[in-house]
Structure 1
Amino acid sequence: MRMRTLRRVAFAAVAIVASVSAPVPGRAADIVIGVANWPSAIATAHLLKALVETKLGKTATLEEASLPELFAAADAGTVDILPEVWLPNYRAQVRSYVDKEHSVVLAPRGIPARQGLCTTKVAAEEYDLHSVEDLTKPETAGLLDTDQDGRGEIWIGADGWNSTNVERIRAKSYGYDKTMTLISADEPVAMAGLDVAVALGEPIVFYCYEPHHMFALHDLVMLEEPPHDPTKWVIRTPEDTPDWLEQSTAATAWPVSFIHTAYRSGFDDDAPEVVALLSNLDLEADAISDMTYALIVERRDPDAYAAEWIEANPDRVARWLAE
């Protein structure tokens, strides 16, 4: 019964995300906005599309792909705007395309964010599950073992996210890769699993990041970790070396993270008013969480919601549009 329920919820969540992020076909456009595969990137992309069309009088279309693919597309000149570049997650792409090739420009303003591993407050209190170190304990593995193979399960992110590789490095560095099966899967499936665990009162641990609507939907806590220490963070990527996992270490908390917009080099000459908007954009974390909640949980139409949000925030939008 539980698996059938999980599948129904998961398939519904996948359908919701697909309806939110699907590009509009057959429409002539002069601004191409990339859409990465997580809720806040989807929400921000639709907001930018609405601003470009309703406030700047241009047409825009959405291009869905992983963020590394969108960086490459911006480098090739086929995508104009990347609404959400997480740092330090995508530091390798920033080094390559922004710092070295100068084919992508990173807007200076960043939205503070945070990342880590979460559980529910109920699970933390009932099972004394408070620290990442707890994940190395056999009794914790037993709590999180849903398939009875002797190892717990932790969702560490979606395929194609740089953070997913970092979470593999963190698991190896802390040692819970020996007690836990690390699952990479599309986020809607993972969030459906979270919904089921909450409904059944079962313990769960998973990669989490904020801003995200999951914090408004559920009472979540981040597991405790040692403070970030850059000397203990050595991150290699599969592009660097085949032995990237063995050569990497990350046995402390994530550093303070920031979300930036970015755009292809030369776009400031083609659409200076759009670049001014991107430079002035100062979305706050709670606004992004509200947007993703409306789109994913309330199943609001993303274009209609973006238009309503713009109408409800005239002063902020006016600041963004100022030269």
Structure 2
Amino acid sequence: MKRYRNIALSCLALIALQACKDETITTNRGKVKFETIAVSAKVPGRIEKIYVEEGQTVQTGDTLALLNIPEVHAKMMQVEGAIKAAQGQLNMAYNGATKEQLNQIEGKLNAGKAQLKFAQESYKRLENMYQDSLLSLQQFDEVKMKLNMAQAQVDALEAKRAEVKKGVRAEQIEQAKGQLDGALGAKEEVLSAYNEQYLIAPANMSVQTISLVEGELLTPGYTLFNGYKTDSVYFRFTIPESKIYDFKVGDMLTLINPYTNEETPSKIVAINQLAQYANITSTAPLYQLAEAIYELKVVPTSDVSHQEFYINATILIK
């Protein structure tokens, strides 16, 4: 009786094995992975507000945090003043002298001509006295020097009036343009720093860790948010060298979630050798320690947005 029972159990086992032949799960186990992403600051500032929490999912362009950068506001006021001054210089260069400036030059020129006329009359009177030996040579030279100075002043004012009426030189206009361009460039630099007070999500991501709290100082390059791109899921399998020849880049695989039984059509996109044992991801590696270890990077070939994946969760090859 016992013999017949064992035969019956064996037959049932063979039937079950045959029924599951097409649903075989291999011993190759992998892990769910996502492309990681880090968000840091370009300029130093104190964290004024953090708008997200760990585990929260955000979209591209969402504001993650606000920094307080007081130096930016002071520099903005400086560059605004520099732009106004440079624009005024350029306008003056284009428009030339105003009517008031011309009147001022004319007034100085008339005063200079009056001084020149007086110097000329004084020179004529003293010249006769010098010829009659009523005036020393030194006194006569002093009067002659005053006459020359008055003439030089009139000549300079007339040249200035001619320059103003003619217009500003091209070199002065180019100089004014250069000053304005420099001021505008400084403003763009300040605006760039101003925009850096907002830390923005560069992609759709899940925030995993936040390294600082509000009120702390964030230095340039220090990562404040760590997370992973939510639409960048891939799978990582560790394969020993004794089995690596069963796989090739481009091979199509069917992966299965052992907990939900959901299947995911996928493709091998890369095969890399692992140099460190710490990088191995198989949960139950079946290989000799002396074997070289390789990594399969597998990506889904269909839309998996309806499936739920958790980072480092186990995934199997069907």
TM-score range, shorter chain: under 0.3
Q: Write 1 or 2 for the structure with the bigger share of strand.
A: 2
- Where relative contact order (Cα < 8 A, 6+ residues apart) is larger, the structure is 2
Indicate the structure (1 or 2) with the bigger Cα radius of gyration.
2
Return the TM-score normalized by structure 2: 0.17
Return the TM-score normalized by structure 1: 0.17
